Structure 1
Amino acid sequence: MLEIMSLLACLACAEAAPVPSAPNTLAVDVELVLAVDISLSMDETEFALQRAGYVEALRHADFIQAVRSGHTGRIALAYFEWAGTVRDDAVIGWQIIDSAQSANSFADKLAARPFRSFRGTSISSALAFGAELFDGTNFASERSVIDISGDGPNNIGPPVTVTRDAAIAKGIVINGLPILIKPS
Structure 2
Amino acid sequence: MLRLTFVSLLSVFPVMSQACDTALILTIDVSNSIDMAEYRLQTDGLADALRDAEIIETMVAGENYLAVVQWSGVDKQTISIPWTQMRTALDVEAFAQKARLMERAFVLSDTAPAEAIYFSLGLFDQVTGCNRNVIDVSGDGTPNGGSDVRAARNAAERAGVTINGIAIESMGLAITNFFRGAVITRDGFVMTARTHREYPQTIRAKILREISRIFG
TM-score, normalised to structure 1, is 0.77
Deviation readout 1:96-127 (Å, 9 max, x if unpaired): 11222101111111111223524100000000
SS of the residue 1:32 aligns to: strand
Equivalent pair of 2:43/2:102 in contact (CA under 8 Å): no
1:67 is matched with which residue: 45, 59, 75? 59
**How far apart in 2 are the matches of 1:155 and 1:87?**
16
**How far apart in 1 are the matches of 2:76 and 2:124?**
16
**How far apart in 2 are the matches of 1:96 and 1:156?**
33
Cα drift, residue 86 of structure 1 = 3.1
Of 113-122 and 137-146, deviating more is: 113-122
Matched, 1:120 2:103: no
Supply the AA of the counterpart residue of 1:110. Answer: A
Supply the AA of the counterpart residue of 1:78. Answer: A
Distance verdict in 2 for CA 1:178–1:86, change over 3 Å:
same
TM-score, normalised to structure 2, is 0.66
Deviation readout 1:122-160 (Å, 9 max, x if unpaired): 00000001111102x242011000001011111111110
Matches within 5 A, 1:68-87: 68-69=60-61, 73-84=62-73, 85-87=75-77
Q: How many residues were matched structurally?
A: 154
SS of the residue 1:77 aligns to: strand
Cα drift, residue 68 of structure 1 = 3.2
**How far apart in 1 are the matches of 2:70 and 2:24?**
14
Unpaired runs of 5+ in structure 2? Answer: 1-15, 170-194, 197-216
**How far apart in 1 are the matches of 2:93 and 2:22?**
18
Supply the AA of the counterpart residue of 2:57. Answer: Q
**How far apart in 1 are the matches of 2:108 and 2:25?**
20
SS of the residue 1:124 aligns to: helix
Matched, 1:171 2:160: yes
Identity %: 35
SS of the residue 1:142 aligns to: strand
**How far apart in 1 are the matches of 2:100 and 2:49?**
12
1:103 is matched with which residue: 72, 75, 92? 92
CA RMSD after TM alignment:
1.9
Supply the AA of the counterpart residue of 2:157. Answer: I
2:124 is matched with which residue: 134, 156, 162? 134
Other-structure match for 1:154: 143
**How far apart in 2 are the matches of 1:158 and 1:99?**
39
Deviation readout 1:15-34 (Å, 9 max, x if unpaired): xxxxx68xxxx821100000
Higher relative contact order (CA 8 A, sep 6+): 1
Supply the AA of the counterpart residue of 2:35. Answer: D
Unpaired runs of 5+ in structure 1? Answer: 1-19
